[in-house]
Structure 1
Amino acid sequence: MAENANLVDVLVVGAGPVGLITAYQLARFGGVSVRIIEKHAKSVQDAYGRAITLFPRTSEMLDQLGLADELLQEAFACRETVAYNSRGEEVHGRGWSFMNEMRDTTFDFSLVLRQKYQEEIFRNALRRYGVEVESPVELVGIDFGDTAASLSSHPVIATVRDTESEAPRTIRCKYLVGADGGRSSVRTLLAIPFEGSTSEDRWVRIDGHVKTNLPKPRTYCAIESPTHGNVLWVGLDRGATRIGYAFTDDRANAYPEFDEQAAIKEAIAAVKPFTLEFERVDWWTIYTVGQRIAKHFFVRDRVFLAGDACHTHSSGAAQGMNTGIHDAVNLGWKLSLVLRGLAPPSLLNTYEMERRPHVEKLIQYDADISRLMTNRLPENWQGDPTADVNEVLAKIMDEAQSFNSGLGISYEALADNPLVSASTSFGSLKPGMRAVDIPLLRPGTFEHTRLIRETPNVGCFYVVFFAPESSRQLPGALYQGVDQSGTINEYIKSECSWSLVYYAMLNLVKVALLAT
């Protein structure tokens, strides 16, 4: 009996947002047992800081998982951006201005909520499915049995230790997910190379409640400081504010110890010519900027890496948590289908196949904007060496607009990816693209609703029929078309040129058009 208690389908290591969302999906979809462990006690991680921003596509994904409403009730919905030059003059088209163009989504804003509060919501949601985070529990070893065995076996042997009692024990699982951050124990224990570099750049982030004469303090704001780089100013939840600036050698050498008071003093200098006074500091940190990516996201056919465990970058583009949640959502439904016997294990190979290209794109993008935010041109810059770094930064961020919002992210057709086939393209809409969250009417009551709300992510497939308004009665015409042609596809091609048939796999980004 004790041995069975240590058997589980999936063991998730790390209870940050990525680990919590992964475990939550598996519990929500049903038919799969899951455990989640966290090395640090919650009180240790209870800082207000860390990640803060969810962009529209991430909010859509969380909405499909039934989590968006509660996040929105606690968040600051940031709908305005502004940039100021060193003289305090507002300049247009710079800084975070791409956020003003996030369209074609209900979530046409940045959802700003500090990670502490997001994790509380995710933990409570997971608890409703009977899964509690086990903490403080540290992963100290990974061994393997026969990984080629059937899914009825538990070939992954995880050795864990309660960090308070120091008592070790083993948990046997079918799959293990490492969502345990940039210093991942899973990645380290399996000796998975973490390729990339750590730069000499460091940034300071400080959260708190402030008084200021900044004209638009409740925005996503950039201040172009000649001494502190492209300064970040963000209105946070609960009336708080985040300020971030470059921690240069000049800043470091000016203090025998760079403590909280030094961080406050430099924040005041960073936002000049505006005034700043801290009423309270909730959290602050100095961190090193670097870009790294794991050589493998999926090893031994049984172990996955997700989020910071397989890719790290700066907070310059505010993409860290967004990219990690995209990892978790991509992995969650695939792992669930395989474990429930509804898809072959080969489906799991598409996780890295689909996610890696976007992570690699983010890594390069982040390297460029990290340098620009510290008043330096990108390392491989081929343009004018005297170019204004703030103008170059604005151009690069604007060009990456659909990538930043997540709304333009899609998965390309690859010969060895069974989910995305080039042969099923139809017009401008192609398999692998996001299904647009269009407004809909319920057929019986004509209530207004929208596609994503009507197709929640519950680990199943949907077939959705779209038809144009017509003077003909659609049901009769449809039946007539089917009778005459023998197939719905033939009717659609001959009678409804704008009708599309979506086979939306979990209604995320997997879209295959059947009307071809």
Structure 2
Amino acid sequence: MAEHAREVDVLIVGAGPVGLVTAFQLAKFGGVSVAIIDKNEKATSQQAYGRAITLFPRTSELLDQLGLAEKLAQQCFACRETVTYNSKGEEVEGRGWSFMETSMNDTAWDFALVLRQKYQEDVFRGALNEYGVEVEAPFSLLDVVVDETAPALSHKVTAAIKNEKTGQQTLFKSKFLIGCDGGHSSVRRMLNIPFHGTTSADKWVRIDGLVKTNVPKPRTYCSIESPTHGNVLWVGLDRGRTRIGYAFTEKHANSYEVFDEAAAIKEAKAAVKPFDLEFECVDWWTIYSVGQRIAESFFVKDCVFLAGDACHTHSSGAAQGMNTGIHDSVNLAWKLSLVLRGAAHFDLLRTYQAERLPNVQRLIQYDKDISRLMTNRLPENWTGDPDTDVNAILGDIMGQAASFSSGLGIFYDLEESNPLNRAGSQKVVLSPGQRGPDVDLVTPGTYETTRLIQQTRNSAMFHVVVFAGGPALSKEAEFYAAMLESTTLTALRAKNLMEFLTILKSVTPSTWEVLGHDPLGRAYFDDSKQNAYQRYGIDTGSGGVAVLRPDGWIGTVTTLSEDAVVELESYFQGIFQ
């Protein structure tokens, strides 16, 4: 390799949603140099359109905390309605995507945010550009060399990059390399990371366009139970478009010498029978094989990460691909930022795989079952009645996995080796490692309603939420006094690694007159139903303290007392240097 190289802290390969959101976070959090490359300019319609379309509630919450969700919502089709039709065109209750109407509550983002990937990427690129980082394309990765003798946090990765337009080669030296380059990841291949799993013989077709139809409820998340094309997907898209997806069997394949766009349209019309369908235009279509694979490791040589499809692939049956990838990105970026800035222990990076892998494994098993069911076949390990209606079983399985699919039920396990999720002295219904509920709060003075997520934006900072309790607030006074004496917590606040929020149980004209002192951090009031206290399981009399990680999951929950300060010091000492 050549002698001269461009140095950055992080080189990201792949500028899809996962790579873009990762780069955005690192740039937003500050103090880290980042470059992002992609081998495609996405100039053709096949590259520009298609691909992923749906963000479920927890993903929208994560993007909301990063300040990205509102721009997506401006353009999206907000889908709150689902419907399932049987082979006769009759509406059937409790099947298909019906879980979306019953299990996507407890959040302001209580809908499927449907926006084609092209438009999502435009939003992410624009946000990234605001921090002075642009995608460099078309650049392909030629080679990666890791100097394993070099110390941690040195520029131990050397990557050879080729400009596909000019043929010119460039070297990057980086402290970390992140492969966000999809299921055929060059990063994964060059690092010889095994990719375990299988690809089945099943194939699916997806086609997007502007349609005319007599489907009774076309602007929904819809299933059509076709006896010939499996459980057909019908989704209303942004800009009045529609996506139709169906199983492509060997019988269908044998009917065509070449399966082209005209054939995809013909089969789509057959798939949605007994309804009529005409395409006014087609934006994009594809045919692909269904499979499930997981990388053996998401973090190798202490300097190379994989995220998104680069480390796990599955069918689009559950619409989880982009959601899972963005969860990877959000879990990783704040940890990497803190380590690179010298704030957190290096071992914090090992919690990325520890937290994400179990959730990916849950998805893979779920995906194996529904991908078979969507092609009119029972799950591999099915022991029930072989003549069972596959569509009924599909509805049951999707219903059982509803909280996982919405993302609102995704949790991280309590493990001794993971300092982020720690059982505290306060025993509550919500445990560390679970999502911190978004709740309505009331602002002082104006009494306007706000949401906890809006006040705990993700800036790689922990949020310590003090539920002040009452009526005498003696425990809050003890905690406040002990907090002022804590050099550890004071230092974390000064470095913008942690901040306090105080939640009072009822609305008052003055927070000072209730507390007898200025609140720790910003203060808010619970709503009239004291929903915040109830959702976090905090007694309105004794109060409590909840730590929210930068990504919005609960870190620990303590009683409200002077001893809580010692607990918090211990918690943060396990994370920060």
Same fold? TM cut 0.5: yes
1:228–1:245 CA contact under 8 A, matched in 2: yes
Q: Cα distance 1:496–1:480, how it changes in 2: closer, same or farther (>3 A)?
A: farther
Q: Which residue of 2 aligns with 1:15?
A: 15
User: Whole-Å Cα distance in 2 between the matches of residues 307 and 150 of structure 1?
Assistant: 24
Q: Which residue of 2 aligns with 1:240?
A: 241
1:98–1:401 CA contact under 8 A, matched in 2: yes
* More deviation, 18-27/381-390: 381-390
Q: CA RMSD in A?
A: 2.4
User: Whole-Å Cα distance in 1 between the matches of residues 423 and 289 of structure 2?
Assistant: 42
Helix, strand or coil for the counterpart of 1:446?
coil
Helix, strand or coil for the counterpart of 2:48?
coil
Q: Which residue of 1 aligns with 2:338?
A: 337
Q: Which residue of 2 aligns with 1:433?
A: 434
User: Whole-Å Cα distance in 2 between the matches of residues 240 and 169 of structure 1?
Assistant: 41
Q: Cα distance 1:417–1:225, how it changes in 2: closer, same or farther (>3 A)?
A: same
2:206–2:244 CA contact under 8 A, matched in 1: yes
1:84–1:91 CA contact under 8 A, matched in 2: yes
- Where does 1:372-391 land on structure 2 (aligned, <5 Å)? 372-391=373-392
The one of 132, 138, 159 aligned to 2:134:
132
- CA offset at residue 467 of structure 1? 4.3
Q: Cα distance 1:498–1:380, how it changes in 2: closer, same or farther (>3 A)?
A: farther
The one of 125, 134, 158 aligned to 1:123:
125
2:152–2:302 CA contact under 8 A, matched in 1: no
Q: Which residue of 1 aligns with 2:419?
A: 418
Q: Which residue of 1 aligns with 2:545?
A: 501
Aligned residue type for 1:11: L
- Where does 1:204-215 land on structure 2 (aligned, <5 Å)? 204-215=205-216
Q: Are 2:115 and 1:113 equivalent residues in the alignment?
A: yes
The one of 558, 573, 576 aligned to 1:514:
558
Q: Are 2:84 and 1:40 equivalent residues in the alignment?
A: no
1:172-216, Cα deviation, whole Å (9 max, x unpaired): 000010000000000000110000000000000000000111110
- CA offset at residue 147 of structure 1? 5.3
Helix, strand or coil for the counterpart of 2:337?
helix
User: Whole-Å Cα distance in 2 between the matches of residues 437 and 205 of structure 1?
Assistant: 35
Q: Which residue of 2 aligns with 1:86?
A: 87
Question: What is the total number of aligned residue pairs between the two structures?
Answer: 509
- CA offset at residue 442 of structure 1? 1.4
Q: Cα distance 1:342–1:477, how it changes in 2: closer, same or farther (>3 A)?
A: closer
Q: Which residue of 1 aligns with 2:290?
A: 289
1:11–1:175 CA contact under 8 A, matched in 2: yes
User: Whole-Å Cα distance in 2 between the matches of residues 253 and 481 of structure 1?
Assistant: 73
1:81-132, Cα deviation, whole Å (9 max, x unpaired): 0000001100000000010021100000000000000001100100000000
Aligned residue type for 2:251: D
- Where does 1:259-408 land on structure 2 (aligned, <5 Å)? 259-408=260-409
Q: Cα distance 1:382–1:448, how it changes in 2: closer, same or farther (>3 A)?
A: same
Q: Cα distance 1:294–1:501, how it changes in 2: closer, same or farther (>3 A)?
A: same
Q: Which residue of 2 aligns with 1:76?
A: 77
- CA offset at residue 424 of structure 1? 5.4
User: Whole-Å Cα distance in 2 between the matches of residues 203 and 350 of structure 1?
Assistant: 35
Q: Which residue of 2 aligns with 1:191?
A: 192
1:40-72, Cα deviation, whole Å (9 max, x unpaired): 123146431000000000000000000011000
1:454-482, Cα deviation, whole Å (9 max, x unpaired): 111111121112345x6x475x8843787
Q: Are 2:31 and 1:31 equivalent residues in the alignment?
A: yes
Q: Which residue of 1 aligns with 2:455?
A: 454
Q: Cα distance 1:280–1:495, how it changes in 2: closer, same or farther (>3 A)?
A: closer
| Identity level (%) | 62
1:206–1:263 CA contact under 8 A, matched in 2: yes
Helix, strand or coil for the counterpart of 1:318?
coil
What TM-score, normalized by structure 2, do the two folds share? 0.85
Helix, strand or coil for the counterpart of 1:251?
helix
Q: Which residue of 2 aligns with 1:479?
A: 477
User: Whole-Å Cα distance in 1 between the matches of residues 296 and 368 of structure 2?
Assistant: 18
User: Whole-Å Cα distance in 2 between the matches of residues 91 and 497 of structure 1?
Assistant: 48
- CA offset at residue 302 of structure 1? 0.3
1:291-320, Cα deviation, whole Å (9 max, x unpaired): 000000000000000000000000000000
1:483-502, Cα deviation, whole Å (9 max, x unpaired): 89x999xx999984563311
- CA offset at residue 150 of structure 1? 4.3
Helix, strand or coil for the counterpart of 2:547?
strand
User: Whole-Å Cα distance in 1 between the matches of residues 393 and 346 of structure 2?
Assistant: 45
Query: Structure 2 stretches of 5 or more lacking a match?
Result: 486-501, 503-514, 516-532, 565-577
Aligned residue type for 2:350: N
1:424–1:431 CA contact under 8 A, matched in 2: no
User: Whole-Å Cα distance in 1 between the matches of residues 444 and 9 of structure 2?
Assistant: 40
Q: Cα distance 1:473–1:318, how it changes in 2: closer, same or farther (>3 A)?
A: same
What TM-score, normalized by structure 1, do the two folds share? 0.94
Aligned residue type for 2:464: V
1:307-365, Cα deviation, whole Å (9 max, x unpaired): 00000000000000000000000000000000011101110000000000000110110
User: Whole-Å Cα distance in 2 between the matches of residues 70 and 335 of structure 1?
Assistant: 26
Aligned residue type for 1:235: G
**Moved beyond 6 Å, runs of 4+:** 2-5, 480-484, 491-495
1:434–1:511 CA contact under 8 A, matched in 2: no
Q: Which residue of 2 aligns with 1:145?
A: 147
1:467–1:500 CA contact under 8 A, matched in 2: yes
User: Whole-Å Cα distance in 1 between the matches of residues 149 and 210 of structure 2?
Assistant: 52
User: Whole-Å Cα distance in 2 between the matches of residues 4 and 429 of structure 1?
Assistant: 53
- CA offset at residue 144 of structure 1? 1.6
User: Whole-Å Cα distance in 2 between the matches of residues 425 and 478 of structure 1?
Assistant: 15
- CA offset at residue 422 of structure 1? 3.6
Q: Which residue of 2 aligns with 1:161?
A: 162
Q: Cα distance 1:423–1:448, how it changes in 2: closer, same or farther (>3 A)?
A: closer
Helix, strand or coil for the counterpart of 1:397?
helix
